[in-house]
C-alpha cells in the first residue's frame, strides 16, 4: 500500500529488500550491515511517522487535498489524487520514477514534491491566464459584434421612422389638397346656386311688378316709360350663352358705339346690316336674323403695370336709352312721387271680360313654365283673335322661349307678334307703347337697327310729347351712323326740355364729332353733372376729357378722367379703352419676348427692306391708296394710311400692290386673325401732331416697324414714356393707354403697323370677340 506523505502526496510502492544469507564477518561485510541497518532504521522511522500523522490527525488531509483539488484536478473528478499527480508530472515533463538509480528504496522528499506542485500551480495559473485572456478576447469580439448589430438595428429603425414620417406628411398633404379642392368645388357650387337663386328671385320680383301693372285698370300715357320694368333688358338676354364661350364674354346687342373704329371714336357708327325694310318699317319675310354676336360684358381690367393707377373698366356695347334707365330714381324725384304714378292699363273692355283666363296664362309664364304659357296664350289668340292683351302675352311667351332656346327664329316670331298686338283695333295706348318699345329693343338686339329705327319713329308719331321716346329715337339714329338725324331729334328735345341731361350729353357728343370742340364741352359737362339716367357712360367722360385737352385745359381734363376712373369706367387715368376683357396683363410698353411673338418680330426685322421697297413703290406710283386719317385725331399736319387687313379680314386689292409683304405676314395668325386690329402702312408728313388719345380695346397690342425714319424730330409718347423709331426695328406698345405722336422732322416718316391679339387671350376668346 502507498503511504501518504506530510505534503499530501502519495508515496510510490517500494519493494522491501529480501534478506541476504549471512557470510563470514569480514570488514566489508560489517560495513554493509551497518548501512543496511541505518536504512532499516530510517524506513521504520518513516513508517511510524506516517502512522503517527494519520493516527493523531496531525495534518488535515481533507483541506490539503481540497486545496490542491482546486488547482490540480486534471481528471475532473473534483479532488487531487494520484491520477492528477501523474498528469501534472507528465505536463512538466519531469516524471518521478519510483525507483532511484542508486537505489529503489529511497523516498522522494516532501520538499521536492512541494516544489513540483508549486511549478505545476504556476503553470496552471499561466494556462488559466491564457484561457482567461483568450476568453476575454472572444467575449470582446462577441460584444463588439452584438453592439454593431444593435446599432444597425437602431439605425434601421430610425430610417424607417423617417420614411414613415415623410410618407405620412405626403399623405396628409394629398388629403389636405383634396379637401381644399373639395371645398373650392363646394364653394363654387354654392356661389352658383346663390347667384341662380338671386337671379330667379329678381326675375320673380320683376314678374310680380309686371303682374301688378297688368292687372291695374288705369295708367296715363305719360307714365309709360316704366313699361321697361316688365321687360328683360337686352344685355341680360341669352345669359345661357356665357358657358358656350367664356365666362367673361356675355351676349349683348350686336349694334354698338363705334363698332368699326380703331382709335378714340368720334361718332356713333352704323351696324353693318343688310336687312330690307318696307314702308312701314317691318322686316320683310326674306330677311333672316343674323347669328347672335357676342360682345364683352362690362369688365374689370387687371392691375396696371409700373406706376400706373389700377382700376376697373367697363365695356359698353351700345348707348343707354332712357327707357333702359328709368328704373333708376331720377334726381330730385322722391319715392313718394314715384308711388303716385299710375300703373299702365293693358286691358280694353273686352279683355277685362276674359281677365281670369289671361291671368291664368300669365301666371304660367311668370312661374317659368314657358312652353305651357305659350300654348295657353296661343289657345287664347285662337279663341279671341281680337284680344290685344292675349296677343301681347303670346309675344312675351315667344320672347321668353327664344331666350330659353337661344333661337333667333323664335325671337323673330315674337317681333312680328308684338307688331300684330299693336295693330289690333281697340288696343290700349299703354299696351301699344309697351309692345312697340319691346319690339324696337328686340330688333336692335338682332342687329336690325333700321327696323328698330322705323319702330321708334312710329312710336314718336303716336306719342309726340313723350321725351323719352324721342331720346331713344336719337340713339337709334346714332346707331346707324345718322348723326344729322340724331342731332335734329336732340335739338327738338332740348327745345321741349332744355335741362334734359340725356339729350345734353348726346348732343355734346355729336358736336364733338363735328370737331366743334369748344361748343361740345358745356353740353357734355352739364349732362354728366345732371346725373340723369343714361348719362353715366364712359364714352361721355372720355370725350369731355378729350375735348378739354384739345382746348388747352389739361387740368380739368384730368379731373374728368379721374371722375371716370372713380365711376369704374376707366382702368386708370392713362388706360381709357372701353371694350375690354378682364384679367389681361396691362402695361404700356412691351418687349418681343414678353409678347411671345418673337418669330413675327424677327421676320419683320429681317425683311424690313423688302417691306419698305413695296411700300415706297405704292407711295411713289399710287399715293392715292394712302387714305387720310379720318378719326379726328390730328391737331395739325397730314397723316395717311394704306390698310392690308381690317378687323381680321384681308383687303385683297391692297395685297395685290404689296404681295411680298402680305406673304410674309399671312402665316402669323396672331396678326391676320386679330378682329380688333389692323395691318397697315402709315405715312406722316412733317408738322403733324396727333392728339393724346387711346385705342378702343385692351385685347390687342400694336407693333410699329420703322421703314423710313428721319434722323431727328419723330417721337411717340405712351403714358409718361417717350421713345423714337429706328429703321428695321420694332416698337411694341398697348394703345389702350394714352399715346401721342409728334412729327417735327424735315421729311416724311413711314412705318408698318401690325396689330396682334393680346397674348393672354385664349383661342375661344379670340374667336368669340366681336370686331372693332
39 belongs to a structural domain: yes
437 belongs to a structural domain: no
How far, in Å, CA of 315 to CA of 300, rounded?
Answer: 9
How far, in Å, CA of 71 to CA of 121, rounded?
Answer: 7
Q: Do 546 and 679 sit in the same domain of this protein?
A: no
Query: Does residue 168 have a pLDDT over 80?
Result: no
Give the pLDDT mean for 633-651.
Answer: 95
Q: Do 526 and 480 sit in the same domain of this protein?
A: yes
Split at pLDDT 50, 70, 90, the class of 359 is very high
Q: Do 651 and 521 sit in the same domain of this protein?
A: no
168 belongs to a structural domain: no
| Burial 235-274, CB ≥16 within 10 A → b, else e | bebbeeeeeebbebbbbbbbbbbbbebbbbbbbbbbbebe
248 belongs to a structural domain: no
CB 466 within 8 A of CB 460: yes
50 belongs to a structural domain: yes
Query: Does residue 562 have a pLDDT over 80?
Result: yes
Q: Distances in Å between the alpha carbon of 675 and those of 4, 131, 580, 641, 734?
A: 134, 103, 13, 18, 16
pLDDT digits (tens, 9 = 90+) for 463-503: 999 999 999 999 999 999 999 999 999 999 999 999 999 99
687 belongs to a structural domain: yes
What is the SS3 assignment for 251?
strand
Segment holding 704, helix H or strand E: strand 700-708
Last residue of a domain, one of 56, 78, 108: 108
CB 533 within 8 A of CB 326: yes
HSE value, Cβ hemisphere, 13 Å, CA-based, for 409: 1
CB 527 within 8 A of CB 505: yes
Split at pLDDT 50, 70, 90, the class of 340 is low
**Polymer length of the chain:** 772
Reported in sequence order, the residue ranges of 204-285 that DSSP labels E, i.e. its strands, are: 249-251
How far, in Å, CA of 373 to CA of 400, rounded?
Answer: 10
Segment holding 490, helix H or strand E: helix 483-496
> What's the burial of 720, exposed, middle or buried (CB within 10 Å: 0-12/13-18/19+)?
exposed
Q: Distances in Å between the alpha carbon of 577 and those of 397, 409, 535, 561?
A: 38, 34, 18, 12
Q: Do 593 and 580 sit in the same domain of this protein?
A: no
681: β partners: 642, 752
Q: Do 697 and 550 sit in the same domain of this protein?
A: no
HSE value, Cβ hemisphere, 13 Å, CA-based, for 448: 28
Residue 458 CB neighbour total at 10 angstroms: 17
Residue 15 CB neighbour total at 10 angstroms: 9
pLDDT at 150: 75
Q: Do 668 and 558 sit in the same domain of this protein?
A: no
Within 57-81, residue ranges assigned H as helices are: 61-72
Last residue of a domain, one of 584, 611, 645: 584
Angle 110-215/61-72 helices, nearest 10 degrees? 60
CB 46 within 8 A of CB 39: no
Q: Do 565 and 639 sit in the same domain of this protein?
A: no
The angle formed by the CA atoms of residues 78, 81 and 87, to the nearest 5 degrees, is: 95
Q: Do 605 and 574 sit in the same domain of this protein?
A: no
**DSSP codes of every residue in 381-429:** HHH-TT-HHHHHHHHHHHHHHHHHHT-HHHHHHHHHHHHHHHHSTT--H
Segment holding 20, helix H or strand E: none
Q: Do 664 and 551 sit in the same domain of this protein?
A: no
pLDDT at 694: 96
Last residue of a domain, one of 584, 615, 634: 584
How many angstroms from the chain centroid is the CA of residue 104?
121
Query: Does residue 614 have a pLDDT over 70?
Result: yes
Query: Does residue 641 have a pLDDT over 80?
Result: yes
CB 272 within 8 A of CB 264: no
Q: Which residue has the higher pLDDT, 630 or 420?
A: 420
Q: Do 611 and 688 sit in the same domain of this protein?
A: yes
CB 748 within 8 A of CB 685: yes
Tell me the CATH number at 491: 1.25.40.10
Which residues have CB under 8 Å from 83's CB, separation 6+? 74, 75, 77
Q: Distances in Å between the alpha carbon of 579 and those of 314, 495, 669?
A: 7, 34, 22
How far, in Å, CA of 469 to CA of 343, rounded?
Answer: 18
Q: Do 637 and 754 sit in the same domain of this protein?
A: yes
Which residues have CB under 8 Å from 317's CB, separation 6+? 235, 252, 253, 256, 257, 295, 296, 579, 770
Q: Do 332 and 319 sit in the same domain of this protein?
A: yes
Tell me the CATH number at 657: 2.60.120.330
Split at pLDDT 50, 70, 90, the class of 740 is very high
Q: Distances in Å between the alpha carbon of 147 and those of 133, 159, 430, 466?
A: 20, 18, 104, 106
Range with top average pLDDT, 312-321, 365-374, 620-629 = 365-374
54 belongs to a structural domain: yes
Residue 526 CB neighbour total at 10 angstroms: 15
User: What's the domain range around 762?
Assistant: 589-768
Structurally, the chain folds into a number of domains equal to: 3
299 belongs to a structural domain: yes
Split at pLDDT 50, 70, 90, the class of 353 is very high
How many angstroms from the chain centroid is the CA of residue 24?
147
DSSP 227: G
How far, in Å, CA of 150 to CA of 167, rounded?
Answer: 25
Give the pLDDT mean for 668-679.
Answer: 97
Q: Distances in Å between the alpha carbon of 202 and those of 198, 230, 397, 454, 613?
A: 6, 12, 18, 32, 63
How far, in Å, CA of 554 to CA of 117, rounded?
Answer: 130
> What pTM was computed for the model?
0.58
Split at pLDDT 50, 70, 90, the class of 75 is low
Among the ranges given (334-343, 700-709, 715-724), the one the predictor scored with the smallest mean pLDDT: 334-343
505: β partners: none
HSE value, Cβ hemisphere, 13 Å, CA-based, for 294: 23
Query: Does residue 732 have a pLDDT over 80?
Result: yes
Segment holding 756, helix H or strand E: strand 749-757
pLDDT at 84: 66
How far, in Å, CA of 396 to CA of 210, rounded?
Answer: 12
Query: Does residue 258 have a pLDDT over 80?
Result: no
Amino acid at each position: 500500500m502507498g503511504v501518504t506523505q506530510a505534503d499530501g502526496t502519495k508515496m510510490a510502492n517500494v519493494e522491501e529488500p529480501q534478506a541476504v544469507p549471512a557470510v563470514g564477518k569480514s570488514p566489508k561485510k560489517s560495513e554493509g550491515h551497518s548501512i543496511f541497518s541505518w536504512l532499516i532504521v530510517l524506513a521504520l522511522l518513516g513508517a511510524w511517522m506516517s502512522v503517527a500523522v494519520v493516527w493523531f490527525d496531525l495534518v488535515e488531509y481533507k483541506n490539503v487535498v481540497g486545496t490542491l483539488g482546486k488547482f490540480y484536478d486534471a481528471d475532473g473528478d473534483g479532488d487531487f489524487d494520484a491520477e492528477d499527480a501523474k498528469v501534472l508530472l507528465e505536463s512538466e515533463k519531469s516524471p518521478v520514477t519510483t525507483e532511484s538509480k542508486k537505489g529503489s528504496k529511497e523516498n522522494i522528499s516532501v520538499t521536492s514534491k512541494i516544489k513540483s506542485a508549486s511549478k505545476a500551480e504556476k503553470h496552471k495559473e499561466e494556462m488559466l491566464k491564457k484561457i482567461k485572456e483568450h476568453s476575454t478576447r472572444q467575449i470582446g469580439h462577441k460584444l463588439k459584434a452584438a453592439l454593431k448589430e444593435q446599432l444597425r438595428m437602431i439605425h434601421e429603425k430610425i430610417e424607417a421612422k423617417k420614411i414613415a414620417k415623410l410618407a405620412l406628411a405626403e399623405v396628409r398633404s394629398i388629403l389636405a389638397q383634396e379637401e381644399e379642392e373639395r371645398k373650392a368645388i363646394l364653394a363654387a357650387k354654392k356661389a352658383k346656386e346663390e347667384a341662380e337663386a338671386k337671379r330667379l328671385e329678381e326675375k320673380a320680383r320683376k314678374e310680380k311688378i309686371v303682374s301688378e301693372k297688368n292687372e291695374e285698370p288705369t295708367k296715363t300715357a305719360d307714365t309709360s316709360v316704366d313699361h321697361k320694368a316688365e321687360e328683360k333688358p337686352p344685355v341680360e338676354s341669352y345669359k345661357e350663352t356665357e358657358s358656350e364661350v367664356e365666362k367673361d364674354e356675355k351676349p349683348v346687342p350686336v349694334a354698338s358705339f363705334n363698332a368699326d373704329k380703331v382709335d378714340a371714336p368720334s361718332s356713333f357708327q352704323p351696324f353693318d346690316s343688310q336687312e330690307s325694310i318696307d314702308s312701314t318699317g317691318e322686316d320683310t319675310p326674306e330677311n333672316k336674323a343674323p347669328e347672335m354676336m357676342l360682345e364683352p360684358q362690362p369688365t374689370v381690367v387687371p392691375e396696371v403695370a409700373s406706376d400706373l393707377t389700377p382700376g376697373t373698366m367697363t365695356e359698353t356695347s351700345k348707348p343707354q336709352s332712357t327707357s333702359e334707365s328709368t328704373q333708376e330714381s331720377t334726381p330730385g324725384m322722391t319715392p313718394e312721387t314715384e308711388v303716385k304714378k299710375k300703373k299702365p292699363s293693358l286691358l280694353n273692355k273686352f279683355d277685362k271680360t276674359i281677365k281670369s283666363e289671361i291671368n291664368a296664362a300669365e301666371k304660367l309664364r311668370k312661374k317659368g313654365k314657358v312652353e305651357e304659357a305659350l300654348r295657353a296664350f296661343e289657345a287664347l289668340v285662337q279663341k279671341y283673335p281680337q284680344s290685344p292683351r292675349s296677343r301681347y302675352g303670346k309675344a312675351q311667351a315667344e320672347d321668353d322661349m327664344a331666350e330659353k332656346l337661344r333661337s333667333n327664329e323664335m325671337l323673330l316670331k315674337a317681333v312680328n307678334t308684338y307688331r300684330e298686338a299693336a295693330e289690333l283695333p281697340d288696343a290700349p295706348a299703354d299696351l301699344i307703347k309697351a309692345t312697340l318699345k319691346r319690339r324696337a329693343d328686340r330688333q336692335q338686339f338682332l342687329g336690325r337697327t333700321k327696323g328698330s329705327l322705323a319702330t321708334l319713329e312710329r312710336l314718336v308719331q303716336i306719342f309726340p310729347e313723350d321725351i323719352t321716346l324721342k331720346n331713344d329715337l336719337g340713339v337709334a339714329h346714332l346707331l346707324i351712323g345718322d348723326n344729322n338725324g340724331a342731332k335734329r331729334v336732340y335739338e327738338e328735345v332740348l327745345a321741349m326740355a332744355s335741362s334734359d341731361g340725356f339729350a345734353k350729353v348726346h348732343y355734346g357728343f355729336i358736336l364733338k364729332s363735328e370737331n366743334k370742340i369748344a361748343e361740345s364741352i358745356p353740353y357734355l359737362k352739364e349732362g354728366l353733372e345732371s346725373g340723369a339716367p343714361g348719362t353715366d357712360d364712359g364714352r361721355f367722360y372720355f370725350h369731355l376729357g378729350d375735348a378739354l385737352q384739345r382746348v388747352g385745359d389739361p387740368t380739368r381734363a384730368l379731373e374728368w378722367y379721374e371722375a371716370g376712373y372713380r365711376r369704374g369706367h376707366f382702368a386708370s387715368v392713362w388706360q381709357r379703352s372701353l371694350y375690354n376683357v378682364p384679367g389681361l396683363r396691362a402695361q404700356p410698353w412691351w418687349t418681343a419676348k414678353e409678347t411671345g411673338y418673337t418669330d413675327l418680330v424677327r421676320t419683320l426685322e429681317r425683311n424690313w427692306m423688302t417691306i419698305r421697297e413695296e411700300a415706297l413703290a405704292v407711295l411713289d406710283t399710287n399715293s392715292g391708296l394712302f387714305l387720310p386719317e379720318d378719326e379726328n385725331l390730328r391737331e395739325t399736319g397730314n397723316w395717311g394710311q394704306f390698310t392690308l387687313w381690317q378687323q381680321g379680314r384681308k383687303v385683297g386689292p391692297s395685297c395685290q400692290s404689296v404681295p411680298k409683304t402680305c406673304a410674309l405676314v399671312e402665316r402669323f395668325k396672331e396678326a391676320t386673325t386679330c378682329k380688333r386690329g389692323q395691318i397697315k402702312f402709315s405715312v406722316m408728313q412733317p408738322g403733324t401732331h396727333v392728339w393724346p388719345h387711346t385705342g378702343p380695346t385692351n385685347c390687342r397690342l400694336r407693333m410699329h416697324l420703322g421703314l423710313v425714319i428721319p434722323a431727328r424730330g419723330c417721337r411717340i409718347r405712351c403714358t409718361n414714356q417717350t421713345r423714337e423709331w429706328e429703321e428695321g426695328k420694332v416698337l411694341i406698345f398697348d394703345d389702350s393707354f394714352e399715346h401721342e405722336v409728334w412729327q417735327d422732322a424735315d421729311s416724311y416718316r413711314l412705318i408698318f403697323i401690325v396689330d396682334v391679339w393680346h397674348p393672354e387671350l385664349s383661342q375661344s376668346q379670340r374667336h368669340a370677340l366681336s370686331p372693332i
